[in-house]
């Protein structure tokens, strides 16, 4: 549990940062966030002298585990050459080629600095390309912290009760039309009314910001067909799933392609990144070849490029996917066994190397289902695990992730913690 040293730092932080943190979800760790002094493999080490098994993984990016030697080496090598040039360097070409190989062969890339920037740029691109103003977004999906997508948003926006943020003008929010995840008909209804003015449908192929909710068979295909029918673009927001569900992300995994892909998290190897990728015909609308403005002092930052490239090279061995999958499937199964052993009303959603448990009766096939779950019970599970040295997402609205560093031994230790934690939940 967060100890005395963390408490002192947090008290200081409360006077410096709104809510004591620089991204709201971090304050969901109660009674206050623990402060980390270093990280290695599957572990975070706190200033309180604790070692935690990490299933948050910086909210997704650390798919190889912390401080992976290959990534460290690539970053050090780049640092020796300097770290921000304001002019191109070769590594950006190498990383772009890797990304395009798996996502948009023959296409183009624009590097930005976060998933937020990527979806903001992608939406502007779709609007510029189509000359249309509306976007369709799914209730409970999260695409970052900019105006167009802070309408019916998931993740921390849902956790803190602001799915539609103050400060987003009504006129702007009105341009975001809200459909229901896993419900093609809800999209069809919107398209029938506004289809000729819809620039893009933006979707998380696996909803990962309302827990973990896989797409039902036919859902993504239905979106593809509706986008084509009405001449709108389909933006696959793979900030979480990109390079996580496999090298080709959810689009390869589910066999449905978007017109534009947004990436972030893993593709930067743990350094700030966002990517917009798509076919040349669409991408060339970005400045300077086109008239859709996008720019950034830190775009294609050399250190990020080095870390991202090293990460993908390790991923290409296939081994990280095998280890992460084995860990998540074993843990998800353990949680299922425990809820059935103790007769707890709950359900587990699992995809490859991400899962989540929802304390609710019945299936969770939509963010609306997820919203019905007992969040207090989830928070208790989080606390019980934290007190046993295991860090899972502090919010039901996030995913539990595994990595290449979650070996069988680490998983065994986690299972012991899970067994004790569920026993405690049962006793309460
Ligand atoms: C699907 C999705 N899109 C976009 C974002 C925004 O990315 P970032 O936090 O890097 O701005 C996130 C997560 O944060 C995400 O999960
Ligand atoms: N799933 C949502 C995030 O990963 C957000 C992390 C953050 O905003 O700190």
Q: Are 201 and 213 in contact (CB under 8 A)?
A: no
Cα 209 to averaged position of ligand 1 atoms, centre (Å): 9
**Residue 378 to residue 395: CA distance in whole angstroms:** 8
How much is the ipTM here? 0.99
Of 287, 240, 228, 292, nearest to 267 by C-alpha is 240
Q: Average pLDDT for residues 234-262, to the nearest whole number?
A: 98
Name the pLDDT band for 426 (thresholds 50, 70, 90): confident
Q: Whose CA is nearest to atom 9 of ligand 2?
A: 23
Of 283, 262, 133, nearest to 199 by C-alpha is 133
Taking only the tens place, the pLDDT of each residue in 344-385 is 999 999 999 999 999 999 999 999 999 999 999 999 999 999
**Residue 383 to residue 378: CA distance in whole angstroms:** 9
**Residue 32 to residue 9: CA distance in whole angstroms:** 10
Angle between helices 302-315 and 90-102 (to 10 degrees): 40
Name the pLDDT band for 199 (thresholds 50, 70, 90): very high
Percent of the chain with pLDDT over 70: 100
H-type alpha helices, 16-159: 69-80, 90-102, 115-130, 155-159
Pairing of strands 134-138, 198-203: parallel
Give yes or no for residue 140 CB within 6 A of ligand 1: no
For the chain, the average pLDDT equals: 97
Q: 270-307 burial, b for 16+ CB within 10 Å, e for fewer?
A: bbbbbbbbbeeebbebbeeeeebebeeebbbbbbbbbb
Taking only the tens place, the pLDDT of each residue in 96-144 is 999 999 999 999 999 999 999 999 999 999 999 999 999 999 999 999 9
Q: Whose CA is nearest to atom 3 of ligand 1?
A: 143
Name the pLDDT band for 1 (thresholds 50, 70, 90): confident
**Residue 151 to residue 164: CA distance in whole angstroms:** 4
Name the pLDDT band for 157 (thresholds 50, 70, 90): confident
Q: Average pLDDT for residues 64-80, to the nearest whole number?
A: 98
**Location of each CATH 3.90.1150.10 domain in the chain:** 4-55+318-427
Give yes or no for residue 398 CB within 6 A of ligand 2: yes
Name the pLDDT band for 162 (thresholds 50, 70, 90): confident
Ligand 1 site-directed mutation target among 141, 155, 239, most atoms within 8 Å of CB: 239
pLDDT at 92: 98
Residue 310 phi/psi, 5° resolution? Answer: -60, -40
Cα 60 to averaged position of ligand 1 atoms, centre (Å): 10
**Residue 151 to residue 116: CA distance in whole angstroms:** 14
Query: What DSSP string runs through 169-227?
Result: -HHHHTTEEEE-TT-HHHHHHHHHHHGGGEEEEEE-SSB-SSS-BPPPTTHHHHHHHHH
Residue 311: how many other CB atoms lie within 10 Å: 28
pLDDT at 412: 98
Q: Average pLDDT for residues 61-75, to the nearest whole number?
A: 98
Ligand 1 site-directed mutation target among 56, 117, 240, 244, most atoms within 8 Å of CB: 240
pLDDT at 2: 87
Q: Are 219 and 365 in contact (CB under 8 A)?
A: no
Of 391, 414, 418, nearest to 25 by C-alpha is 391
Burial (Cβ within 10 Å: 0-12, 13-18, ≥19) of residue 220: buried
Q: Is the pLDDT of residue 164 over 90?
A: no
**Location of each CATH 3.40.640.10 domain in the chain:** 69-315
Give yes or no for residue 59 CB within 6 A of ligand 2: yes
Measured in whole angstroms, the distance separating CA 393 from the mean position of its chain's CA atoms is: 12
Distances (CA, A) of 138 to 90, 210, 395: 38, 11, 20
CATH of domain 69-315: 3.40.640.10
Of 382, 350, 306, nearest to 56 by C-alpha is 382
Residue 156: how many other CB atoms lie within 10 Å: 21
**Residue 32 to residue 3: CA distance in whole angstroms:** 9
Taking only the tens place, the pLDDT of each residue in 286-311 is 999 999 999 999 999 999 999 999 99
- Is pLDDT larger for residue 428 or for residue 225? 225
Give yes or no for residue 354 CB within 6 A of ligand 2: no
**Residue 165 to residue 163: CA distance in whole angstroms:** 6
Cα 364 to averaged position of ligand 1 atoms, centre (Å): 22
Residue 138 phi/psi, 5° resolution? Answer: -100, 135
CB-side neighbour CA atoms (13 Å) of 267 = 39
State the catalytic residues. 142, 237, 265
Name the DSSP letter for residue 66: B
Of 99, 143, 199, 133, nearest to 110 by C-alpha is 99
Ligand 2 site-directed mutation target among 155, 159, 204, 268, most atoms within 8 Å of CB: 155
CATH of domain 4-55+318-427: 3.90.1150.10
- Is pLDDT larger for residue 161 or for residue 74? 74
pTM here? 0.98
Pairing of strands 400-401, 390-391: unpaired
pLDDT at 165: 86
Q: 107-141 burial, b for 16+ CB within 10 Å, e for fewer?
A: bbbbbbbbbbbbbbbbbbbbbbbbebebbbbbbbb
**Residue 276 to residue 339: CA distance in whole angstroms:** 41
Query: What DSSP string runs through 144-173?
Result: -SSGGG-SS--HHHHHTT-SS-TTS-HHHH
Q: Are 318 and 105 in contact (CB under 8 A)?
A: no
Q: Average pLDDT for residues 145-157, to the nearest whole number?
A: 89
């Amino acid at each position: 549990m967060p100890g005395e040293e963390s408490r002192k730092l947090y008290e200081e932080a409360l006077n410096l940062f709104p809510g004591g943190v620089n991204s709201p979800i971090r304050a969901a760790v109660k009674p206050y966030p623990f402060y980390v002094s270093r990280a290695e493999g599957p572990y975070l080490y706190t200033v309180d002298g604790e070692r935690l098994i990490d299933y948050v993984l910086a909210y997704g990016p650390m798919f190889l585990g912390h401080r992976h030697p290959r990534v460290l080496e690539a970053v050090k090598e780049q640092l020796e050459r300097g770290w921000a040039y304001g002019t191109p360097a070769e590594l950006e070409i190498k990383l772009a080629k890797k990304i395009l190989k798996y996502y948009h062969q023959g296409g183009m890339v624009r590097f930005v600095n976060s998933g937020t920037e990527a979806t903001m740029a992608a939406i502007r691109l779709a609007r510029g390309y189509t000359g249309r103003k509306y976007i369709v977004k799914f209730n409970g999906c999260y695409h970052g912290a900019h105006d167009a997508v802070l309408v019916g948003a998931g993740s921390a926006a849902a956790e803190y009760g602001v799915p539609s943020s103050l400060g987003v003008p009504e006129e702007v929010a009105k341009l975001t039309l809200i459909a229901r995840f896993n419900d093609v008909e809800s999209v069809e209804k919107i398209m029938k009314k506004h289809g000729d003015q819809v620039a893009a449908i933006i979707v998380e192929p696996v909803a990962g910001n309302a827990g973990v909710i896989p797409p039902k068979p036919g859902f993504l295909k239905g979106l593809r067909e509706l986008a084509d029918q009405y001449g709108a673009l389909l933006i696959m927001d793979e900030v979480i799933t990109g390079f996580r569900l496999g090298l080709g992300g959810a689009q390869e995994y589910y066999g449905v392609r978007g017109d534009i892909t947004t990436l972030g998290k893993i593709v930067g190897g743990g350094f700030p990144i966002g990517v917009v990728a798509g076919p040349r015909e669409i991408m060339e609308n970005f400045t300077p070849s086109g008239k859709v403005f996008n720019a950034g002092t830190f775009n294609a930052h050399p250190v990020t490029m080095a870390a991202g490239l090293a990460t993908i090279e390790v991923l290409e061995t296939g081994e990280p996917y095998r280890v992460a999958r084995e860990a998540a499937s074993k843990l998800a199964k353990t949680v299922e066994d425990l809820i059935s052993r103790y007769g707890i009303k709950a359900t587990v959603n699992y995809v490859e190397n991400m899962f989540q448990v929802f304390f609710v009766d019945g299936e969770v096939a939509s963010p609306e289902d997820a919203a019905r779950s007992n969040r207090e019970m989830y928070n208790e599970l989080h606390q019980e695990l934290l007190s046993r040295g295991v860090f899972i997402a502090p919010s039901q609205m996030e995913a539990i992730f595994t990595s290449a560093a979650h070996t069988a031994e680490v998983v065994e230790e986690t299972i012991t913690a899970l067994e004790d934690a569920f026993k405690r939940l049962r006793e309460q």
